[in-house]
Structures are given as C-alpha cells and as structure tokens.
Amino acid sequence: MRLANVSGRLAIVTDDVAVDVENASGRQFSADPQAVFDRWDEFTDWAQTVTVTEGAPVITSTLQAPVPRPGQIFAVGVNYRDHVEEAGLELPEAPFVFTKFPASITGPYNDIELPEGSVDFEVELVAVIGRPARHVDADTAWDYVAGLTLGQDLSERELQLSGPAPQQFNLGKSYAGFAPIGPMLVTADEFDDPDDIEISTILSGRQMQKSRTRHLIFPIPDLVAYLSSILPLSPGDLIFTGTPGGIGWTREPPRLIGTSDELVSRAEGIGEMRHHFVQAHPTTISRSATHV
C-alpha cells in the first residue's frame, strides 16, 4: 500500500491514482494523515477493500509530508561504513542517536529556507512506527513499522559542530524545513526486500550519494529494538536511519547547498523529492565549528 498526503488529506495511491480516504470510507477514517497511525491495524484491513475507480490522478505539486506531525523524530548517525570513514570516526558499538524536532518537517517539494552557515545534505530511508512499541525484539520489529518513506537529514554544520561535546546536533539539524519527507509512505510488503532499498542524492545535476540500505550497520529491526528498549515508540514516530557516504561537508573542497541549487532525493520503490532553497533571515548568534 502507498499512502500520500494530498493537500492535507490522506489518500491511498495506486498506479498514480489517489483515493481520498475520508470520502471512500464514508468518514469511517479521518482525512488527517497523522490520525491514521492510531488506528493502523483497523485502517489496513479496510484499505484492502478500496478500488482505484474511486480516485483521481495524483498531482505532484499537491503532495505534502506523509507524516506531518510526528510525536518523536529519532535520527541515527554514522550508520553506513563509508560515512563513518569519511567522517574520520570509529565504527559505533551501538546506534548513535540524536533527534530532529518535529517543527523541522516539510513536504517533498516545498522550498526550504537556507540559514547562514554551511548547509549539507544527507539522504536517508525513514521508518514510520505503526504500533506502540516497547521492548520489541528485532525478529518481530517489522510488525511495528507502518511503512517507509524518504527523507533528507539537512544539517547546518557550523551550528551542529559548535562548542564542546556534545555540541548542537539537535539544533543544527532542526531548522525549519530540515526534515523533508515523502513523497509517499509505502508499506514493507510493497518491496522485494525492505532491508535492501537504493537511496541517492543529486545536487544540481551531480550525483553525490548512492547506496543501498543493506549496507546499514544497524538495520531497521535493530533500531526499533534498540530504541524501544529505552523508551516507548508511538504510532507516527519517525526513525531517520542514517546516511551513506558522499556528504558535502567532508569533500575537498566542501560542496554545500546554495540558493541556486536543486536537491533531488530518491528512494527505490518510494519516489523522489525535489527541493529549492531561499535565503532565510540572518541570525545574530555567532558560532564556529570546532571539529568534524
């Protein structure tokens, strides 16, 4: 099943035809795309009865974030070996987790404000929680995942890396629009192997990142098990699973995002996002990066 947020309304998408959920269900389910996760099992049973004859063609410009108001956003750093190497770090013994604040969510085609500093790209597969999860075993973790979407963990490196440890990862990665997701939410059964999906970044026509999620150090079931061992995961929570090598900050010279750039993010079986950037209002706070 493929779900979309079409102009703020939940829709099921089949062959580029979108069926409005509230109308098709006789208001059994809300039009609110976020509300569906609290009734996920009931909804997926009903969704099997929907036919595309009730729908309309998908218009790309109407697509918004498929999970518009997540309660929690977890992000996993250095979760691909090539990214560990380019960052000059050691392989992690456990997932390195930080957060992105929910106000950073935006859609797959929105313009994004570009703050002062050094803004970098990090394409990631994003897992969406579909059931309350607490002390989940990795062997059953996929049962707690509603589906997968595509994300960019945009990062302003100077704020992110400023000051002494633990630095400012959460803030540096949570500017408005720094968590674009979309264009669809796709359930795991739609993939030949949900643990092996190609993701990539193209910046102004040049491919910067390309890998497959089979190269994750800690795959999605391990991340769900690890996080749920520490705190409850709730329906609609997001897990940004990490980015592969090829980021702009570690290149020589660095290749960072400017207002003239187009950022294209792609995930096999999910689709692509396209983003342009506009200059944000300047900040009065001075900062400097201490190290990578």
Q: What is the tens place of the pLDDT at every residue in 222-263?
A: 999 999 999 999 999 999 999 999 999 999 999 999 999 999
Same domain? 146 vs 231:
yes
| 288 found inside a domain | no
In the predicted model, is pLDDT for residue 13 greater than 50? yes
Same domain? 103 vs 129:
yes
| 153 found inside a domain | yes
Same domain? 160 vs 269:
yes
| 290 found inside a domain | no
In the predicted model, is pLDDT for residue 38 greater than 70? yes
Same domain? 161 vs 105:
yes
Cα→Cα distances 40→46, 77, 141, 260, Å: 10, 29, 16, 41
Peptide linkage before 92 cis (omega within 30 of 0): no
| 92 found inside a domain | yes
In the predicted model, is pLDDT for residue 288 greater than 50? no
User: 229: domain CATH number?
Assistant: 3.90.850.10
| 285 found inside a domain | no
Same domain? 91 vs 234:
yes
Cα–Cα distance measured from residue 93 to residue 197, given in angstroms and rounded to the nearest whole number:
24
Cβ-contact 265, 240 below 8 angstroms: no
Write down the pLDDT at residue 289: 43
| 292 found inside a domain | no
| Average pLDDT score over residue span 151-178 | 91
Same domain? 47 vs 94:
no
Same domain? 154 vs 251:
yes
Q: 155 lies in which domain range?
A: 73-279
Residue 206, Cβ density class (10 Å: 0-12 exposed, 13-18 middle, ≥19 buried): exposed
Cα–Cα distance measured from residue 225 to residue 134, given in angstroms and rounded to the nearest whole number:
8
DSSP state of 39: G
Residue 83, Cβ density class (10 Å: 0-12 exposed, 13-18 middle, ≥19 buried): buried
Binned at pLDDT 50, 70 and 90, residue 292 comes out as very low
- Amino acid at site 233: L
Q: What are the tens digits of pLDDT across the range 165-222?
A: 768 889 999 999 999 999 999 999 999 999 999 999 999 999 999 999 999 999 999 9
Q: How many Cβ atoms sit within 10 Å of the Cβ of residue 281?
A: 7
Same domain? 106 vs 44:
no
- As a whole number of Å, the end-to-end CA separation of the chain is 40
Q: How many domains does the chain have?
A: 2
Binned at pLDDT 50, 70 and 90, residue 54 comes out as confident
Cβ-contact 241, 225 below 8 angstroms: no
| Average pLDDT score over residue span 130-151 | 98
Same domain? 83 vs 50:
no
Same domain? 252 vs 160:
yes
| 111 found inside a domain | yes
Which among 73, 68, 57 has a CA at the least distance from the CA of 31? Answer: 68
| 289 found inside a domain | no
| Average pLDDT score over residue span 40-68 | 92
47, 64, 81 — which closes off a domain?
64
Cβ-contact 209, 244 below 8 angstroms: yes
Residue 68, Cβ density class (10 Å: 0-12 exposed, 13-18 middle, ≥19 buried): middle
Same domain? 194 vs 121:
yes
Cα–Cα distance measured from residue 101 to residue 155, given in angstroms and rounded to the nearest whole number:
13
Write down the pLDDT at residue 285: 54
Residue whose pair of structure tokens reads 């098709």 in the numeric block: 24
- Amino acid at site 170: N
39, 64, 89 — which closes off a domain?
64
Same domain? 28 vs 106:
no
45, 64, 83 — which closes off a domain?
64
Phi/psi of residue 266, each to 5°?
A: -135, 145
Cα–Cα distance measured from residue 84 to residue 244, given in angstroms and rounded to the nearest whole number:
9
Binned at pLDDT 50, 70 and 90, residue 284 comes out as low
Which among 45, 56, 53, 54 has a CA at the least distance from the CA of 17? Answer: 56
